[in-house]
Amino acid sequence: MSSLHSIRPWRQIERRKSRQIMVGNVPVGGDAPITVQTMTNTDSSDVAATVAQVQACAEAGADIVRVSTPDASSTKALREVVKESPVPIVADIHFHYKRAIEAAEAGAACLRINPGNIGDASRVREVIKAAKDHGCSIRIGVNAGSLEKHLLDKYAEPCPDAMIESGLDHIRILQDNDFHEFKISCKASDVFLAAAAYQGLAEATDAPIHLGITEAGALTAGTIKSAIGLGNLLWSGIGDTIRVSLSADPVEEVKVGYEILKSLGLRHRGVNIISCPSCARQGFDVIKTVEALEKRLEHIKTPMSLSIIGCVVNGPGEALMTDVGFTGGGAGSGMVYLAGKQSHKLSNDQMVDHIVEQVEERASAIEAEMATEAAE
Ligand code: SF4
């Protein structure tokens, strides 16, 4: 029920105004949707494994995928990965300017590189020329864990001012070389440090911002940390593209990224399931049902909502605001709601199959409505 946003101003997030750049065919910044990124963790010189992971991430919704290219064999393999990838590929470079040039030649859509870390001005010029020649954008990636020594000497420890200064120094190098297709991140594993640095950077530049809480941890802890850190920034309008860093499968990073954006109404993709925690009042097994539905509905990309509520305490109210709803009742059956209206009774044992059908039908109807709207 997409119209809820415009008629409920307390849900409105005013995004910071940033320039727009392109990462391949994906716009980042300006009024472009906030994109979700992840990074492969395969051996980058193993083309088949890397392509398979990129495809799995894209299928889960990744708009952009980063591949680390630490050596010449991985920049060589990158050419094949780029060819097979359904989404733009960012090459992750750290210090070696030659890898950056090779990656640009191999078709990377963007280079993640800090121009201040790759050596003298002539090397910087070479990398920027390669980026320009091959239509690559650049992401400056400031990280609290790898700040330049002179900044650590000046500030004594990683702090927001040091990170902002580092970011602005790298920006200046690109601008001095007349290169403007860049975005910037300033990540830290500490949410306070990351948030303060991002806020300062957001005021100091109009470059698109890539958000991330780095090394956030394993799936549960990292998800919570990322939701707090990124959620706070996104809520205040900061952030044009995000990456959730988890010690977990990159596909999980994509799912978590999307869930953070979905929770804030910043991006809609797939079925947003609203479900109750369940209690003794439940008319069916809510937890098992939601687990089954999550899996069965993974293929739906259409933005829509589904409420699965154990009983009439909250069921009818939630169903009013969702595309498809089910509320548990007595005697082994419950009530199905369609587009907010009570529709028909359903026995619990047919529930999962029937709700999947209803969601698929509603998704097709929404797709048709969107196609009509787009054609008008
Ligand atoms: S909606 Fe009903 S079943 Fe679910 S937690 Fe609330 S009271 Fe319990």
SS3 (DSSP) at 284 = coil
pLDDT for 206? 97
Please write the tens of the pLDDT for every residue from 198-251. Answer: 999 999 999 999 999 988 789 999 999 999 999 999 999 999 999 999 999 999
Nearby residues of 317 by Cβ (< 8 Å), 6 or more positions away: none
Segment 249-260 shows an average pLDDT of: 95
Q: How far, in Å, is the centroid of ligand 1 from the Cα of 327?
A: 10
Rounded Cα distance, 338 and 343, in Å:
6
CA atoms within 13 A on the CB side of 27: 8
Rounded Cα distance, 16 and 236, in Å:
8
Nearest 5 degrees, angle CA 139-CA 36-CA 22?
Answer: 45
What pTM value is reported for the model? 0.90
Rounded Cα distance, 29 and 25, in Å:
13
Query: Dihedral through CA 314, CA 302, CA 32, CA 54, nearest 10?
Result: 110
Judge whether 256 and 230 are in contact, CB under 8 Å. Answer: no
pLDDT for 116? 80
pLDDT for 1? 44
pLDDT for 171? 96
Ligand 1 within 6 A of CB of 290: no
- Which residue has 């890539």 as its token pair? 210
| Ligand 1 atom at minimum distance from 314 CA | 1
Ligand 1 within 6 A of CB of 317: no
Ligand 1 within 6 A of CB of 277: yes
Alpha helical stretches, state H, 215-350: 219-235, 250-263, 286-296, 315-319
Please write the tens of the pLDDT for every residue from 111-167. Answer: 999 888 888 889 999 999 999 999 999 999 999 998 999 999 999 999 999 999 999
Rounded Cα distance, 88 and 170, in Å:
23
What's the helix, strand, coil split of the chain in %, to 5? Answer: 45, 20, 35
Ligand 1 within 6 A of CB of 282: yes
- Hey, which of 307, 314, 348 would you mutate to test ligand 1's pocket, going by the most ligand atoms within 8 Å of its Cβ? 314
Q: How far, in Å, is the centroid of ligand 1 from the Cα of 283?
A: 9
Nearest 5 degrees, angle CA 59-CA 93-CA 250?
Answer: 25
Looking at residue 136, the DSSP 8-state letter turns out to be -
Rounded Cα distance, 184 and 179, in Å:
13
Question: In the predicted model, what is the mean pLDDT of the chain?
Answer: 94
